Structure 1
Amino acid sequence: MDTELKVLRREDLDTWYALLVRAFGGVDESPDERELWDDLTECERSITAWEADQCVGTAGAFSFRLSVPGGAFVPAAGVTMVSVAATHRRRGILTSMMRRQLDDVRALGEPLAVLTASEPEIYGRFGYGIASRQLTAEIDTSRVKLAVPAGTDSVRLRYAPVQEAAEQCEALYVRSIGSRPGMPARMPGWERLPLLDPPAERGGASPLQCVVAERDGEMVGYARFHTKPESDEAGPKGSVRLRHIDAVDPAANAALWRFLFGIDLTSTLHVRNRPMDDPWQYLVSDLRRCRLQVRDVLHLRLVDVGAALGARTYRAPVDAVFGVEDAFCPWNSGNWRLTGDAAGAVCVRTDDPADLALSVRELGAAYLGGTSLSALAGAGLVRELRPGALAGASHAFGSEKAPWLPHGF
């Protein structure tokens, strides 16, 4: 039977969401989670695939502004809630939804589309490249020590009720987002996301706790975390599970990490989703006992090459022609001249010969500065056509801070 794509109607949201839940394992979310996602879902940006009266595919998008190198916030479609019924795989439904969605994003004038992938291999064929990664760690706090910077002892820590501290914590997040690429400026309603605390997802740990850091009566940082009591014949061996941490300066940051390392009756600190250059790594006595792991997080696609490359700044002056291949969004294919520096940039079509050749996927991977064009060239994914062009462009695309996505969507 033929499949028809339609814009999601609010009255069909329960049917649409039921397919999504089943596709991701069939376990219902908590009422608080479901209420939040119902409120945040932009039905006018969501697609349903129907076969007669049966919903067989879902795809949505959130309206984001994403921080990019230089501190600007660029409109971006946050692709989300993508699923196809297991009974309808390999019929082209996903491809048709991605086609429709990227056409819509282009019509809205958003230069970027971003997503987090449950299976990373899916989205490369639609032009998405891995633009940021995240660090996880399992730290043996009984063996690993911290060397803290001067001023750490001047920071006062106190427990605070999670909800009561939420507004100040959110203000700290807003203050930080322009300083690192890859962070979304949260629209109204999104401040509820980091406060979700469904008991089923705690894994036997405590409800969410919050400690705030203060200096001269002003909040300068916070940490949200769970604790899980455990013991064996030798005694307590509980764990701390860090959810969020943010601070305005090195001393406040170190004070919070020192607290997390020293919580009574615990000997393991589980750290998830931290930036690749997170400062705590340079304070620990033994990095090997931190059991670091890296995974992909933000996948990024340039929907409009010229607008996207012109929206960020560059670490060094750049003047290069990029020969871009984009089979899925052919309006991007061709040669583009990028000229820019730390003050701004312009990217326009040109008939001049290309200095570098690459696909839009590699351009997306390099866009936030977390993956170098030189590294991609080493893998054979970027070709240098003019001697010297690669080194200059690769340096210009870099970012002083590693890109990071602090939460999913």
Structure 2
Amino acid sequence: MEIRELTRDDAMASTAMSRNAFGGSLDLSFFTLGAGITRWGLFDGADLVAKANDRHYDSLIGGRPVPTAGVGGVVVTPETHGRGSARTVMTHLLHRARERGAVISTLFRTVPALYRSLGYEQVTERVDGALPSAALRGMRVPAGITLRRATVADAPAVRQVYDDIAAQGSCWLDRRPPLFPRGTAADADLISAVHGTTLAVDDAGTVQGYVRWTRGDGVGTGAVLTASELLSRTASGTAGLLAALASFDAVTPEIHLRTTGTDPVFWAVPGYGWRVEKVEPYLLRVIDLAGAVAARGWPVGVSGALELTVTDPLCPWNSGDHRLVIEGGRGRLEPGDGSGVSVTVNGSAVLIAGSIGAAALRRGGMVAGGGAEHDAVLDVLTAGPRPGILDFF
């Protein structure tokens, strides 16, 4: 068995594996190489038997970029299932991702048991939901907000809204090059990728929010309007954008909306009928614990320390007795004395993502030892925005 980076010569074999696993066509244009992605393959002689992609993202946690290995396209041939091929290629990917500077890894899981055994744990989910257009009846554009259709010239302002909101959260992807291109061509693609992007603009002319929407076919029963993103810095902007969606009530009785599951948009919907259509669980794994602690932002105005012990057989450099020190919005990991709590590698993923209390982690078997005083410190140190994700990879 040999593990190596895939090359252009492997495009057909890799694409065929993906088609067999996920469906679709043999479109080789999706097999991209270059900056921002590393494709790993496990070969048995000349045969590709397993593969996994490392996308070089940054995740925004506490307002700071955290170098991330976004894992996708994990496939094992049906003839080699059960031989540990997925574990082999994933272990290699994590070790090599650390070498290039990634400190965490994230993925949308298809096989929970496999990824949990590799140290990944669910930290948030992407939620596709639906609500009747009637739930928005009566909504009006608030004073101080004007709605208008976006043009290509507005693309930078649309991106800035996302950037600002993502920086306030946890685990949102930093949409910057190379995996998120910018420039004239990318601006045109952003606007043309949907049927319309409606902007919420304040009296000063500043774009405060946007909704990107696609109008489905037909009128009346069965017709759908899909809002792939609705983001606003202000409550009035959110209300205005929902009023824009409400204007389709006469022709599309249903609205589909993609959310992080914790969006404030839910607080602004006046009517009844929201339902979840699809949930995509999002998992995180710590590749380099010290690096992740140093990279992410921590609660400003909070200072403290906690002794914690971590055991990580897959990435052994994370194992040991540590002292987590937080001060001035920054964190660091120092040698510890083992007198605090024990945290599984899965638990360390949840702690880096933030906002999950120690009591829940104990009930989940990810924190042990210590006492109530340790839990109280842990809750304060890891407080912060709830994780969320909008992008899929």
TM-score bracket, shorter-length normalisation: 0.7 to 0.9
Matches within 5 A, 1:7-406: 7-28=5-26, 35=29, 38=32, 42=36, 45-69=38-62, 71-145=63-137, 152-160=142-150, 165-185=154-174, 186-191=176-181, 195=190, 208-215=195-202, 216-230=204-218, 236=221, 238-263=223-248, 264-272=250-258, 274-286=259-271, 289-292=273-276, 295-315=279-299, 316-350=302-336, 352-399=337-384, 401-406=385-390
Q: Distance in 2 between matches of 1:25 and 1:293?
A: 21
Which runs of 5 or more residues in structure 1 are unaligned?
199-206
Q: Distance in 2 between matches of 1:146 and 1:338?
A: 51
The number of equivalent residue pairs is: 383
SS in 2 for 1:169: helix
The yes-or-no answer on 1:4 pairing with 2:2 is yes
Q: CA deviation at 1:342?
A: 4.2
Superposition TM-score, scaled by structure 1 size: 0.84
Alpha-carbon contact 1:320-1:338 (below 8 Å) kept: yes
Q: CA deviation at 1:144?
A: 5.0
Distance 1:146 1:360, change over 3 A: farther
Q: Distance in 2 between matches of 1:281 and 1:146?
A: 16
Distance 1:326 1:74, change over 3 A: same
SS in 1 for 2:356: coil
SS in 2 for 1:182: strand
Read off the aligned partner of 2:195 and give its amino acid letter. Answer: L
State the Cα RMSD in Å.
Answer: 2.8
Read off the aligned partner of 1:251 and give its amino acid letter. Answer: S
Read off the aligned partner of 1:297 and give its amino acid letter. Answer: P
Deviations 1:232-270 (A, max 9, x none): xxx556321111222232211221122113314122111
Q: CA deviation at 1:195?
A: 4.3
SS in 2 for 1:23: helix
Which runs of 5 or more residues in structure 2 are unaligned?
none
Deviations 1:317-356 (A, max 9, x none): 3311111121222221221100113431221222x12311
Superposition TM-score, scaled by structure 2 size: 0.87
Alpha-carbon contact 1:319-1:340 (below 8 Å) kept: yes
Read off the aligned partner of 1:38 and give its amino acid letter. Answer: T
Q: Distance in 1 between matches of 2:355 and 2:230?
A: 21
Alpha-carbon contact 1:368-1:398 (below 8 Å) kept: no
Q: Distance in 2 between matches of 1:378 and 1:84?
A: 33
Read off the aligned partner of 1:343 and give its amino acid letter. Answer: G
SS in 1 for 2:238: helix
Read off the aligned partner of 2:210 and give its amino acid letter. Answer: Y
